Amino acid sequence: MTTRFGVAVFSIAAHIALGTFVIIMSLLSGDTLPTPRRVLAFEFHDRLVNLPRDIELPAARPSPTQRTASNNDPTVVPLASPAAPVVAPFDVQPETALNERTAGARSSAGVDAIEASSSGIGGGIGVTELPRPIVTPTPPIRLHSGMAAPRKVHGVMPMYPAMARTARVQGIVILEAVIDASGRVESARVLRSIPLLDDAALEAVRQWHFEPARLYGQPVPVVMTVTVNFSLQ
């Protein structure tokens, strides 16, 4: 405790001595103080007297009005400034070019010309018919467990080729058929071939007709596998 008190007393004494030294040295200094700058003033104020005056703004325009009673028209009254006019101004002339073309169309072609112009046909006046949307056909999908498979309602028996019968060729030809949304066979190709029987199988399957496959109750085109059995018995 005694050490801290001694340090505090020494610090105070040192600061007092330093301040006293600075004051004495500044009083004993022989240098002159700097001369302050002269206050700025307008010395040529007489030149400013003849300057041009400010430009005077024009008077405010009166509120827009229509014809007043001074025009000997007592039915027209002045409008308030924010209001829109309800009567056409004097200098606005009706558009006659459009009326002349419409009148000429009526007189030359009658009612048919007016109806054609309103539907946008023949470059007339009216609403142009919008282009029809492009409908993209739905690509065929393969059968899966979530849809109802097609059911054959009309079948054609294949014609047994004479050469295959003579050669005693028989068996099953497997085809892949694309059935459209109406149930008709759109195309077919051979997956498992018997060369002497392929053409007869394709010709028969292309004539088959199905009840279309359905997905969520809607008919859809599908790709499915069909078999054609050729037997000599």
The amino acid at residue 224 is: M
**What is the percent of the chain with per-residue pLDDT over 90, rounded to a whole number?**
35
CATH of domain 144-230: 3.30.2420.10
**118-131 residue pLDDT tens:** 444 444 455 567 77
Give yes or no for residue 68 having a pLDDT over 50.
no
Of the pLDDT bands very low, low, confident and very high (cuts 50, 70, 90), residue 48 is low
Bridge pairing between strands 151-154 and 209-211: antiparallel
Burial class (CB in 10 A: 0-12, 13-18, 19+), 214: middle
Q: What is the pLDDT of residue 4?
A: 75
Q: What is the pLDDT of residue 186?
A: 94
**177-207 residue pLDDT tens:** 999 999 999 999 999 999 999 999 999 999 9
- Global confidence as pTM: 0.43
The domain ranges of the chain are 99-124, 144-230
Q: What is the pLDDT of residue 124?
A: 47
Of the pLDDT bands very low, low, confident and very high (cuts 50, 70, 90), residue 153 is very high
Give yes or no for residue 213 having a pLDDT over 70.
yes
